[in-house]
Each structure stands twice: as structure tokens, then as C-alpha cells.
Copies of this chain bind each other. A is one copy, B any other.
Amino acid sequence: MDQETRGPGRTGKRAPYANGAKKRAELVEAAFRVFAEKGYLGLSIRQIAEAVGTSHTALLHHFGSKEALLEAVLVLREEREGPWRQELISEKGLLETVPAVMRHNAGIRGVIHLDATLRAEAISPDHPAHHFLLRRNQDFVDSVQSELERELAAGRLREGFPPAVLARQITALVDGIQLSWLYDESVDMAEHLQGFMDLIKKT
């Protein structure tokens, strides 16, 4: 949650996670792999700990709660994929990037499953991951919207459809299609997003 910018703990005493940051990072990494490979099927922290190779209390020592661990996994994913997405956007533009992201997501089912589950669980404002997920979603909407404004200014979009609405539609479509796909993998996520891009493109 609150990992302020702070150099790798040289002093080794004052700050929490001064040396523990390394161990913590390993655990998140391992947990990420467990989710990505074995999927998210209502795993208890005891099961996660076993798959990762520690005790469940050790996990809690580093993360404080189960939800905090789950959130840390999603943060890791964001850190890992954010730059890659941004690069792809500036290379190929938004209209090609979104379907490409969907193709990529089809390869990390467990993480997408975790994402969908946590997002529904965290609807209540007092859920520990609520604000993180709300912010992440809003950031995504904002980033899509600014790209849409660029495309619109370049004359590549149909007129009369406000980017703010289109941005939220795209975001919602991603969420909804991922849910559909989690229920039935024969749903082609990229195709459905590509279809939407074709709808808003100037003919």
C-alpha cells in the first residue's frame, strides 16, 4: 500500500521492510506465479503459503492480511505491465493496443480471475482494496480518454461521441468481456474489443 520511495534499506534498522523488502518481493513474485499458473480458486492463505513454501503466519507477518497480499499481487502486475502498455500505445496507437492487451491477458488466466474476483469483493467502500481498485480503474479510464482525444483530434474517430463516454465504455467492455471469457474461453476477447474499435473509427 504505502511503499513510499525509499532506497534499498542501507541502514538495516529503522524502516520496516528495510531488509524485509527483498523477502516480501520474493513472496509477492511467488504468489503471482501461483495465481497465474494454478488459478484463483478460493485459495486460503494457508494454501497459498504452502504453494509458496512458507507458513501462513509468515505471509501475514509480511502483508498483514490476505487482502493486502492479493492487492500486492495486482500492484506487481500493474508495475510490470503498465510500462509495456504505454510503450505499445505510443507505437501502435490505442486502437491496436487494446485488442493486443486482451490477447496478452488470455495468457494469464489466474491473474485475470483474481482481478475479477477481487474487484467484485471490493465494491464495499470499507474493503481494504476498495480505494486501490477504484483509483486503478479511474486511472485507466483517464488514460484511455486522453488517447481517444488525441485520436479524435487526428481525425481518426467518428464525431459526436464524447471521449469521456467512450473511455468508460471501453473500460467496462474489457471488464465484462473478461468475465464472459472466464466463464467460456471460446469467447474471443480481442475480437470483441477490436469490434468496438471498428465501431468508433471514422469510416
A175 is an interface residue with CB less than 8 A from chain B: yes
Cα separation A196 to B166 with both chains bound (whole Å): 9
The residue that A200 contacts in the complex, of B173, B175, B192, B199, with Cβ under 8 A, is B199
A117 is an interface residue with CB less than 8 A from chain B: yes
Is A168 within 8 A of B179, CB to CB?
Answer: no
Cα separation A173 to B174 with both chains bound (whole Å): 8
Chain A, residues 34-53, CB within 8 Å of chain B (1/0): the string is: 00000001100000000000
Cα separation A169 to B165 with both chains bound (whole Å): 16
Main SS of the interface on chain A? helix
A60 is an interface residue with CB less than 8 A from chain B: no
Q: Which partner residue on chain B sits nearest A200 by CB separation?
A: B199
Q: How many copies does the complex hold?
A: 2
Cα separation A133 to B133 with both chains bound (whole Å): 25
Is B161 within 8 A of A198, CB to CB?
Answer: yes
Count A interface residues, CB 8 Å.
39
Which of A20-28, A67-75, A146-154, A180-188 lies on the face that meets chain B?
A180-188
Is B116 within 8 A of A183, CB to CB?
Answer: no
Cα separation A23 to B166 with both chains bound (whole Å): 47
Residues of B within 8 A of A134 (CB): 183-184
A88 is an interface residue with CB less than 8 A from chain B: no
Cα separation A196 to B192 with both chains bound (whole Å): 14
A176 is an interface residue with CB less than 8 A from chain B: yes
Is B123 within 8 A of A182, CB to CB?
Answer: yes
Q: Given A117-B123, A172-B179, 10 other A-B contacts at CB below 8 A?
A: A120-B120, A120-B179, A123-B183, A134-B183, A161-B198, A169-B195, A172-B176, A175-B175, A176-B176, A199-B199
Q: Jot down 16 A-B pairs with beta carbons below 8 A, ordered by A.
A: A113-B123, A116-B123, A117-B120, A117-B121, A117-B123, A119-B120, A120-B120, A165-B192, A172-B173, A172-B175, A172-B180, A173-B176, A174-B176, A175-B179, A176-B177, A199-B200
